[in-house]
Amino acid sequence: MSATPIRRRTAAAVLTTALLLPLSACGDGGSEPAADGSPNAAGAATASAGPKAADLTVLAASSLTDVFKTAGAAYEKAHPGTKVTFSFAGSQELAAQVKQGAPADALVTADARTMDGLRAETGEAKVIAKNRLVIAAGKGNPFKIDDLKDLADPKIKVVLAAPEVPVGRYGKEILDKQGVAVKPVSQEPNVRAVLSKVELGEADAGLVYKTDSAKSGDKVVAVDIPDAQNAVASYPAATLKESRHAEAAAAFVAWLSTPEAQKILQDAGFQQA
């Protein structure tokens, strides 16, 4: 047999191998990390799947205590591995905590004014719910309170939130608008403290949010205030710039405006933002 065909086949095999090597290298480059550590296609797909699980701390207004416990559980269920811990207090207390550098990831206040005063510490805020005030009268409403003007009766012990607290400021606003002069027996640091005084019989009436009175059952009687005489409380939410979990915090704040979260808020009596 002649050696020429063998040499031709060998040369062809070498040439084919030489041509395939660059193509193979190109194919491998798409699945291996780049030399500079930049994400590859697979890594980019993983990153787009959502924020990494994180332990989030959310500072929230006292009037959100019950509804946020429900919302937090729903969020954790939808985002396995993520834990949301809430710290509830009056909005003015939360603002002080933020300014003092308390470790937290997001903030939700009961008024825009408090949030506006923290622009240097927060991301862009968005209102996620609204609320209105009611008169919380003692069990059975023994004084037959049915109007804001009834709160001026000196025989009625009225408790209000302090004026620096959002609900206290809203309360002062609507009382002043109606020309009602009230001398409160005490001024409390948050709306839950006001409600507690009425529930315990330490006060005959107080101004609270509608959503708070709804949780008291028959311990108080909620007396509606006409819209024309009422104030609308807005609840803005924002991430905190000092958050150690910025992406996860932003995802939670964005979730508060989703249909799922809005239904939870509205089922609790909050109005749509």
Band of pLDDT at residue 51, cut at 50, 70 and 90? confident
The pLDDT score that the predictor gives to residue 95 is 98
What type of residue sits at position 207?
L
Distances (CA, A) of 199 to 161, 205, 219: 15, 9, 5
The pLDDT score that the predictor gives to residue 24 is 38
Non-local (6+) Cβ contacts of 177 within 8 A are 229
Distances (CA, A) of 112 to 38, 92, 124, 252: 41, 12, 12, 19
More confident residue, 196 or 40: 196
The pLDDT score that the predictor gives to residue 50 is 64
Non-local (6+) Cβ contacts of 40 within 8 A are 30, 31, 32, 33, 34
The pLDDT score that the predictor gives to residue 53 is 85
- Average pLDDT estimate for 208-214: 95
- Average pLDDT estimate for 49-71: 91
- Give residue-wise pLDDT tens across range 95-123: 999 999 999 999 999 999 999 999 999 99
More confident residue, 215 or 179: 179
Band of pLDDT at residue 251, cut at 50, 70 and 90? very high
Contact 129, 258 (CB under 8 A): no
- Give residue-wise pLDDT tens across range 118-143: 999 999 999 999 999 999 999 999 99
- Average pLDDT estimate for 252-266: 98
The pLDDT score that the predictor gives to residue 215 is 86
The pLDDT of residue 37 is above 70: no
Distances (CA, A) of 83 to 24, 35, 39, 79, 210: 45, 35, 27, 9, 29
Q: Mark 68-84 as b/e (b = at least 16 C-beta within 10 Å).
A: beebbebbeeebeebeb
Q: What is the DSSP letter of 268?
A: T
The fourth-level CATH superfamily of domain 131-232 is Periplasmic binding protein-like II (3.40.190.10)
- Average pLDDT estimate for 42-58: 64
Share of the chain above pLDDT 70, in %: 82
- Average pLDDT estimate for 18-30: 38
Band of pLDDT at residue 32, cut at 50, 70 and 90? very low
The pLDDT score that the predictor gives to residue 31 is 37
What type of residue sits at position 23?
L
The pLDDT of residue 22 is above 60: no
* Positions of CATH 3.40.190.10 in the chain: 55-130+234-267, 131-232
CATH architecture of 55-130+234-267: 3-Layer(aba) Sandwich (3.40)
The pLDDT score that the predictor gives to residue 49 is 53
The pLDDT score that the predictor gives to residue 78 is 96
The pLDDT score that the predictor gives to residue 162 is 97
- Average pLDDT estimate for 33-41: 40
